[in-house]
């Protein structure tokens, strides 16, 4: 059977930003089917997971960037054996810090960003692209690439995504999903601290965790070849990709 990999982008990140990763994957594994699926454009954050579950095919590998990775984890746990494997890229178990998971964005920083997005989404999205690119080898170029590929989303969809990031805690899903897991983090990530990699490994020692050096939160767009190589090596452990 031909292996099928679904790529999910992050909050306010367009599907086009994952195209370089898709191309890198297909260059190395041309018989692999790789599809990029946009996140739901819904104003009700609680409906996002159901929308993805209804739209995405069963018996595929799920890979997600940031919020996409968190949703992929929830969906993998829901589907169980019907999910071939899970890949998280710059995706924390909790995006917003809490007492029992401090290796995440501080609550005050997240709240200020959320409020700024409500007041001025256009300027906040520009700032967001700079944050995603912060720590990259060429942050200005990466930020421009992100801005060019950024989708035009309604304010209520942006707000719903941030509300989802605020409350999502994927630890139970990650622990409950028995399939193979790979989690890639970026050394200089300004949104998901690299320390989250060790925190995840300490909590779930049986999963595969890697930190890619010299990289930002824009890892899949910044280093598509490295990310593709890591994903394919992981997939080959359990299949004939």
For 100, residues 6+ apart whose C-beta sits below 8 A from its C-beta are: none
User: 189 catalytic, yes or no?
Assistant: yes
- Exactly one of 91, 114, 215, 217 is catalytic; which is it? 217
Give dist(CA 7, CA 62) in Å, integer: 7
Beta bridge partners of 187: none
Paired tokens of 184: 């890639």
Residues 49/71, Cβ–Cβ less than 8 Å: yes
- Exactly one of 66, 91, 215, 216 is catalytic; which is it? 66
Element (H, E) at 83: strand 83-89
Element (H, E) at 63: strand 60-65
User: 217 catalytic, yes or no?
Assistant: yes
- Exactly one of 45, 129, 189, 215 is catalytic; which is it? 189
Paired tokens of 148: 């060019």
Nearest in space to 227 (alpha carbons), one of 34, 37, 42: 34
Paired tokens of 117: 């997005």
CB crowding 190-213: b at 16 or more within 10 Å, else e: bbbbbebbebbeeebeebebebbe
Residues classed as catalytic: 66, 189, 217
């Amino acid at each position: 059977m031909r292996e099928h990999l679904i790529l999910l982008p992050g909050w306010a990140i367009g599907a086009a930003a994952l195209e370089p990763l898709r191309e890198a994957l297909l260059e190395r594994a041309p018989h692999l089917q790789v599809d990029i699926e946009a996140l739901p454009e819904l104003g009700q954050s609680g409906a996002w997971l159901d929308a993805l579950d209804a739209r995405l095919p069963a018996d595929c590998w799920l890979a997600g960037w940031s919020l996409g990775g968190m949703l992929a984890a929830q969906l993998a746990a829901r589907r169980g054996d019907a999910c071939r494997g899970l890949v998280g890229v710059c995706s924390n178990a909790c995006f917003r810090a809490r007492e029992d998971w401090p290796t995440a964005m501080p609550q005050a920083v997240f709240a200020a960003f959320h409020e700024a997005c409500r007041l001025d989404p256009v300027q906040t999205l520009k700032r967001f692209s700079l944050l995603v690119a912060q720590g990259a080898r060429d942050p200005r170029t990466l930020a421009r690439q992100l801005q060019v590929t950024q989708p035009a989303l309604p304010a209520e969809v942006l707000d719903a995504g941030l509300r989802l990031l605020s409350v999502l805690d994927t630890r139970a899903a990650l622990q409950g999903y028995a399939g193979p897991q790979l989690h890639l983090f970026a050394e200089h990530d300004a949104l998901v601290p690299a320390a989250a990699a060790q925190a995840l490994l300490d909590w779930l020692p049986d999963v595969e965790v890697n930190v890619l050096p010299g990289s930002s939160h824009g890892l899949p767009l910044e280093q598509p070849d490295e990310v593709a190589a890591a994903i394919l090596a992981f997939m080959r452990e359990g299949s004939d990709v």
